[in-house]
Amino acid sequence: MKTSLRLTTLALAALAAGPLAAEPIDPLGRGESASGPPPVALTVDALPAAASELAARAPEIVSVSATPFYLQGANPPPWGPYAYRNGAPVELAGVTYGLVIEEPAAFFLTDPVSGRRLGPFAGADGAAVALPATNLTLVRLPSTLSGTLAHERLAASSVTLALVPVTPLNRAQLQQLGRAFVELTQRYGVETSPVAFEGLPTVRGLYGRDYAPIAQPSAADIARARRKADLGAKAAFRAFLSRAQLLTAVCGKDGRFRFGGLAAGAYVLCAMADVRANPSAWQGSYATVATWWVNLRIEAFQAVAVALTAENAKDWQELFTAAPNPDRPGG
């Protein structure tokens, strides 16, 4: 009886007020409408200067070190591999030299008998290393990015990771992906906002309770909107991978992946994967989307190791931000 009385009262008030118009409440005052947000400009954060600088503050990066090197004599195979770090042993024909690195671009070899330093030798690939008994050539291995991906709630048995060099072409594709993510995020906000009905007054019902002319989205409505946004984000991400010039690696059950032969430069390591609500849910079930996104700059002859986990997974809605728009109230 109480419900019927409330609906009748609301209907009478609506007839008295005229036709209803539904508008989403805009808590930020930015003027979004139910037809969707307007196009957005995008702000892309500057990439870090180097992986070694990022390692101090990025939870994904485990270590940054130099790649191993070889010493090639007149006949193959080469000697090595040796670790390119200060104090590392370098064994050649039964003699173990000590590696001394005083600057990144040059090194010395310490004679174990006399203690005399030999060098300096250039640290570039192909540099000559002249020792008293032989002449050798330095062989430096190119940069690598390796790591693991571990998430106990992954819904798929494998995840495809992409390593995207930040070239002018790929930067434009990143901008396009960012705009798609921002617009999907704005649309999700519109679809999950309360809706106020214009022209419908607040009605006092039984027991003195006020019924405001505002429709709140249900939990099911919010879940459907999020699922729709996630599907749109995954479609935009797949389209980005198909357009950009990039490297891919498939991370299987062991969770390991590796990118080799990398040139020095800025990169984005990224992946998206469905995750289950809990580890015991059946394989293939969906709860939400986990995203990994690491910006880094890899230097020459550098080995970078990362660990992608549930703790450092990101929400795709947080990856990009819209640039302030002076023509719209509140930015």
User: What pLDDT band is residue 213 in, cutting at 50, 70 and 90?
Assistant: low
- CA 154 from centroid of its chain's CA atoms: 17
User: What pLDDT band is residue 155 in, cutting at 50, 70 and 90?
Assistant: confident
Number of domains in the chain: 2
Strands 214-215 and 195-198, bridge-based pairing: antiparallel
In this prediction the pTM is: 0.74
Q: Does a structural domain hold residue 291?
A: yes
Contact 64, 72 (CB under 8 A): no
Asked whether residue 117 carries a pLDDT value surpassing 90, the answer given is: yes
Residue 54's SS3 state is: helix
The pLDDT of 182-210, averaged and rounded, is 74
User: What pLDDT band is residue 279 in, cutting at 50, 70 and 90?
Assistant: low
Asked whether residue 172 carries a pLDDT value surpassing 80, the answer given is: yes
Instruction: Show Cβ contacts of residue 16 under 8 Å, excluding neighbours closer than 6 positions.
Output: none
Query: Pick the residue with more confidence: 4 or 135?
Result: 135
Contact 5, 206 (CB under 8 A): yes
What pLDDT is stored for residue 319 in this prediction? Answer: 85
How far apart, in whole angstroms, are the C-alpha atoms of residue 195 and residue 193?
6
Asked whether residue 245 carries a pLDDT value surpassing 60, the answer given is: yes
Q: Are residues 185 and 310 in the same domain?
A: yes
The secondary structure of 288-308 as a DSSP string is EEEEEEEEEEEPTTEEEEEEE
Q: Are residues 136 and 148 in the same domain?
A: no
Peptide bond into 329 cis (omega under 30): no
Which residues face 74 on adjacent strands? none
Q: Are residues 108 and 250 in the same domain?
A: no
Q: Choose one of 140, 160, 181: the last residue of a domain.
A: 140
Instruction: Show Cβ contacts of residue 303 under 8 Å, excluding neighbours closer than 6 positions.
Output: 63, 64, 65, 66, 67, 143, 144, 146
Domain region containing 96? 69-140
CA dihedral 282, 283, 288, 291 (to 10 degrees): 150
Q: Which amino acid is at 30?
A: R
pLDDT averaged over the chain? 77
Q: Are residues 172 and 304 in the same domain?
A: yes
Q: Does a structural domain hold residue 153?
A: yes
Q: Return the number of other C-beta atoms located less than 10 Å from residue 110's C-beta.
A: 17
Q: Are residues 149 and 108 in the same domain?
A: no
Q: Are residues 306 and 165 in the same domain?
A: yes
Asked whether residue 29 carries a pLDDT value surpassing 60, the answer given is: no
Q: Does a structural domain hold residue 194?
A: yes
Q: Are residues 98 and 224 in the same domain?
A: no
Q: Does a structural domain hold residue 262?
A: yes
Asked whether residue 140 carries a pLDDT value surpassing 70, the answer given is: yes
Q: Which of 273, 317, 307, 313 is nearest to 293 (CA)?
A: 313
Q: Are residues 194 and 228 in the same domain?
A: yes
What pLDDT is stored for residue 283 in this prediction? Answer: 55
Q: Choose one of 81, 106, 140: the last residue of a domain.
A: 140
Asked whether residue 154 carries a pLDDT value surpassing 70, the answer given is: yes
Share of the chain above pLDDT 70, in %: 72
Asked whether residue 44 carries a pLDDT value surpassing 70, the answer given is: no
Q: Are residues 177 and 124 in the same domain?
A: no
